[in-house]
Amino acid sequence: MRKSLILSLTVLLLVGLSASGAAAQEKPRYGGILNWYDYADPGRLDIHAESPLSVQQALAGIYSGLLHYDPDDPTKIIGDLAESRTVSPDSKTYTFHLRKGVKWHDGQPFSAADVKATFDRVLNPNFQSPRCGSMLKPMVASVEVVDAHTVQFQLKFPAAPFISAVASAWCRVAAKHILEKYGDLTKPEAQIGTGPFKFKRYERGSVIEWEKNKDYFIPGLPYLDGVKQFILTGVPTQLAAAKAGRIMLWDTWPPMKKTQADELRNARGDEVRIYQASINTIFLIYMHTQKPPFNNPDMRRAVNLAIDRQELVAKTLEGAGLPCAMLDPRLVGDFALPLAEVNTLPGCRQPKDQDIAEAKRLVEKHYPNGVDIEAAVRSVGGYIDRAQLVLAQLRKIGIRGTLKTYESAAGFSVYGKGDFTFITTQDRAMVTADPGDVFALVYATGAGSNWGKWSDPKVDELTERGLKEPNVQKRKQIYHELQRYLLTQDTTAVVAGWVEGWFFQDKRLRNYQASPTIYDHSTFMKVWLAQ
């Protein structure tokens, strides 16, 4: 696993390491404000209770985790608030030894009680935690304080993804006294962390600002005086800001298309470094399995057969993506099902004549005159363009759709409540670099992104086996079986493929390196700006 992960990250790491031949020899410079953007207004700021990337991005540098990805080598998970950890012989008890002398941004001391309060919160069966909770609830039995600087996690079974889940940006540690004071973490004034930056300002629809934490527990860090995120909705707006030099970094969702990257290169020349990379994000189409017409398995099967993944990638992503892949081989190596096999499966194969004929037959069997649906889509990124093409493909088999658009946070609220019939376009990034991530959070019964309320005992059984299996080769076999099964079933979520795109860094930016997922590499704790 580690070897494949290292290989899959090579391109991303080269981007960060190639700032200039001399960058590694430069002495870090203190001061300056890093300007970048958040793709949508985050709305509610509770990092444990919300799922949009915009929320995590707004708070990334504010909080610390027990563990995190090493800013100097993002292939490694290292201690953050935890100085060290030990594991019991049966791999069911993890003991974390915490840093001493750490203070919250309001001056209160950090202790093991804060860790317990955080994870008791996300593990509460009545608390909806679509990222951290969804990952940890199947694995963790309890969290206990041993002493003021020691905390212990008792697992239900030896869980292969436990460490990567704890290191996730969604499992950052919150202050017990803040949770007790506010009841949740939704308000700007509740954003009290231990991270390299303090939360300074949130002007809805406009800007989010951080300021340097001068009492950060790692001496000498951060180098920056602060970070400013402009809330920029829509790629045209984001691209205009990049061309004007208003933002210094575009490394997150949504990616640019090649034509847009070319526009930026023409506008900024050698002031920027532009590169193509995977953002470890899967392109999905959701159907609500408890609402007509998609409570009928035949109708879900028809959609799976009708969607032309190759056309979607070619036209809406300008070819930057992997059609039909259920796991990204660049992230998880041969845990992914070989594309040569995937592309022969019904729904994925080309040409589409055979699949379209069968899809039309299934629709006409239940709706001889076709059927009308309302299709939901968030009005961010390139979602609407993709949605229109999806609906055009479905019209060929008698499914006629009209679009209903939502602002980003509102869309996630609708999806989470199940107030939809069909979601034409939704990207879902890997929360961790573990291959079980997609299955545990999208397809398992009750999972945080299983918005269509689908349930399949075989999927649940294979997902659980994948979580528990410590042997790498056996885990690969489990996930291959699971992918083969899902790609031939009438699931809630149809895989269109994996998304790639184009990104840029201002050449003044130093020591910034991408991490395995887009969720984990935006704390900027070791980033600095050259003159």
Query: Is residue 257 in some structural domain?
Result: no
Query: Is residue 255 in some structural domain?
Result: no
Helix (H, G, I), strand (E, B) or coil at 504: strand
H-run or E-run covering 202? strand 197-203
Tell me: pLDDT of 519 over 80: no
What CATH number does the domain containing 396 carry? 3.10.105.10
Same domain, 84 and 47: yes
For 362-388, b/e burial (b = at least 16 CB within 10 A) is bbeeebeeebebebbbbbbbbbbebbb
The predicted model gives 68-72 an average pLDDT of 90
Q: Where are the alpha helices (DSSP H) in 128-271?
A: 132-136, 162-166, 176-182, 235-243, 258-268
Same domain, 132 and 63: yes
Which range, of 169-183, 214-228, 365-379, 404-418, averages the lowest pLDDT?
Answer: 404-418
Which residue range is the domain that position 440 belongs to? 278-500
Same domain, 328 and 440: yes
Tell me: pLDDT of 16 over 50: no
Phi, psi of 208 (to 5 degrees): -125, 135
Same domain, 180 and 41: yes
What CATH number does the domain containing 521 carry? 3.40.190.10
Same domain, 304 and 201: no
342-378 pLDDT, tens digit each: 999 999 999 999 999 999 999 999 999 999 999 999 9
Query: Is residue 261 in some structural domain?
Result: no
Query: Is residue 81 in some structural domain?
Result: yes
Confidence band of 12 (pLDDT split at 50, 70, 90): very low
Domain count within the chain: 2
Query: Is residue 258 in some structural domain?
Result: no
Q: At what angle do helices 472-486 and 457-468 cross, to 10 degrees?
A: 160
Tell me: pLDDT of 191 over 50: yes
Same domain, 243 and 302: no
159-180 pLDDT, tens digit each: 989 999 999 999 999 999 999 9
Tell me: pLDDT of 397 over 80: yes
Query: Is residue 271 in some structural domain?
Result: no
240-296 pLDDT, tens digit each: 999 999 999 998 888 999 999 999 999 999 999 999 988 889 999 999 999 999 999
Same domain, 177 and 68: yes
User: Residue 480: how many CA atoms within 13 Å on its side-chain side?
Assistant: 13
486-515 pLDDT, tens digit each: 998 999 999 999 999 999 999 999 999 887
H-run or E-run covering 459? helix 457-468
Confidence band of 521 (pLDDT split at 50, 70, 90): low
Same domain, 221 and 307: no
The predicted model gives 107-125 an average pLDDT of 98
Query: Is residue 383 in some structural domain?
Result: yes
What pTM does this model have?
0.86
Confidence band of 428 (pLDDT split at 50, 70, 90): confident
Query: Is residue 273 in some structural domain?
Result: no
Q: What per-residue confidence (pLDDT) applies to 13?
A: 41
Same domain, 124 and 202: yes
The predicted model gives 117-141 an average pLDDT of 95
Same domain, 453 and 436: yes
- Distant-in-sequence, close-in-space partners of 265: CB < 8 Å, separation ≥ 6: 272, 274
Q: What per-residue confidence (pLDDT) applies to 10?
A: 40
Same domain, 483 and 522: no
pLDDT cut 70: percent of the chain above it: 95
Residue labelled with tokens 């950060």: 216
Same domain, 186 and 303: no
Q: What per-residue confidence (pLDDT) applies to 23?
A: 47
Confidence band of 382 (pLDDT split at 50, 70, 90): confident
Tell me: pLDDT of 22 over 60: no
